[in-house]
């Protein structure tokens, strides 16, 4: 797992700084959130509690609330600044909806302060790739879901940022770009976490930028700068930055730099607890030993 390891304090600080600019710049995250909401239209579900895990400023909160107006909605994120942005936007809704309005919880999604079996839907849009190992988070999602509750998530797969990775290698900065888990590995983790019949699929989405500077500015505005544990700890420097810029712009088509995102979708139901077919106790009868004559 070393190649996936993330410097989590650094990642959290980056999101704290980016909280005011995140929503305006997070084009990919908002598009994927909209596509996930469309997928929910095919699911029959009446959750009492909807948990948005890794919510950031919770851009899909309104869509989830429209779909499940009677549920208690909880937005959970490890960045208090992101949640404050969410609270500022949702303030008037809270005044109207009262105690059933959106609630904010600042916590790690691998250790959530929620009662086991309390959620009918766990929703996580583009957040799982910010933990080094998704397995503890998936297990925690399973813990807080009620039997027959639904987990729906999106995350990034291995071909994400392949153009940036190639440019960084050319510039001598290969360790600056994150590595992402494969869709099939995530499906195995779901099964290991007790989910029934997980369904996984993926698509490639291409973003384009006018320049290398615009690409980097977009990543900074969303807090998605390099937080790999193996990254170079010093500043890149003018020479290496120039090499990176030239490598990116040499790959431009019609004056636009492309950046790929392999978006992985997953959904699975929390398996019901196994029941014994027969509740009668078993009494073990030991054969009496034969005494010698």
Q: What is the pLDDT along the chain (293 residues), one digit of tens a residue?
A: 567 899 999 999 999 999 999 999 999 999 999 999 999 998 999 999 999 999 999 999 999 999 999 999 999 999 999 999 877 766 555 554 454 446 999 999 999 999 999 999 999 999 999 999 999 999 999 999 999 999 999 999 999 999 999 988 888 877 888 999 999 999 999 999 999 989 999 999 999 999 999 998 999 999 998 888 877 665 566 888 888 888 888 889 999 999 999 999 999 999 865 444 343 333 333 334 333 33
Instruction: Tell me how far apart the alpha carbons of residues 291 and 293 are, in angstroms, rounded to a whole number.
Output: 7
Residue recorded with tokens 């080094």? 132
Torsion sign over Cα 243, 244, 247, 252: negative
- All domains of the chain, ordered by start, with CATH? 2-270 (3.40.50.150)
Give residue-wise pLDDT tens across range 66-125. 999 999 999 999 999 999 987 776 655 555 445 444 699 999 999 999 999 999 999 999
* Rounded to 5°, angle at Cα 93 from 89 and 95: 115
As given in the structure block, the two tokens for residue 143 are 């813990």
Sheet holding 145-156, edge to edge: 103-106, 72-77, 49-53, 119-125, 145-156, 257-270, 195-209
Name the burial class of residue 237, with classes exposed (0-12), middle (13-18) and buried (19+) by CB atoms within 10 angstroms of its CB: exposed
Instruction: Tell me how far apart the alpha carbons of residues 24 and 100 are, in angstroms, rounded to a whole number.
Output: 28
């Amino acid at each position: 797992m070393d190649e996936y390891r993330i410097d989590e304090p650094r990642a959290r600080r980056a999101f704290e700084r980016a909280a005011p600019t995140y929503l305006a710049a997070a084009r990919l995250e908002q598009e994927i959130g909209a596509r996930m909401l469309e997928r929910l239209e095919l699911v029959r579900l009446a959750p009492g509690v909807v948990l948005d895990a890794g919510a950031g400023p919770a851009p899909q909160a309104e869509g989830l609330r429209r779909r499940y107006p009677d549920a208690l909605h909880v937005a959970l994120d490890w960045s208090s600044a992101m949640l404050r942005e969410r609270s500022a936007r949702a303030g008037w809704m809270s005044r109207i909806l009262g105690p059933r309005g959106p609630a904010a919880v600042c916590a790690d999604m691998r250790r959530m302060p929620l009662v086991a079996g309390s959620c009918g839907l766990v929703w996580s849009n583009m957040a799982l790739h910010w933990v080094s190992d998704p397995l503890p988070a998936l297990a925690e999602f399973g813990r807080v879901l009620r039997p027959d509750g639904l987990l729906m998530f999106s995350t990034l797969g291995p071909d994400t940022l392949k153009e940036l990775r190639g440019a960084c290698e050319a510039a001598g900065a290969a360790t600056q770009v994150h590595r992402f888990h494969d869709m099939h590995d995530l499906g195995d983790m779901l099964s290991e976490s007790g989910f029934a019949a997980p369904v996984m699929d993926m698509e490639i989405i291409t973003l384009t930028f006018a320049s290398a500077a615009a690409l980097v500015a977009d990543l900074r505005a969303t807090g998605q700068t390099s937080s790999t544990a193996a990254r170079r700890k010093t500043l890149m420097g003018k020479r290496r930055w120039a090499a990176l810029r030239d490598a990116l712009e040499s790959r431009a088509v019609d004056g636009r730099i492309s950046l790929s995102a392999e978006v992985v979708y997953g959904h699975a139901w929390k398996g019901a607890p196994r029941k014994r077919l027969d509740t009668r106790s078993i009494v073990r009868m030991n054969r009496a030993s034969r005494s010698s004559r």
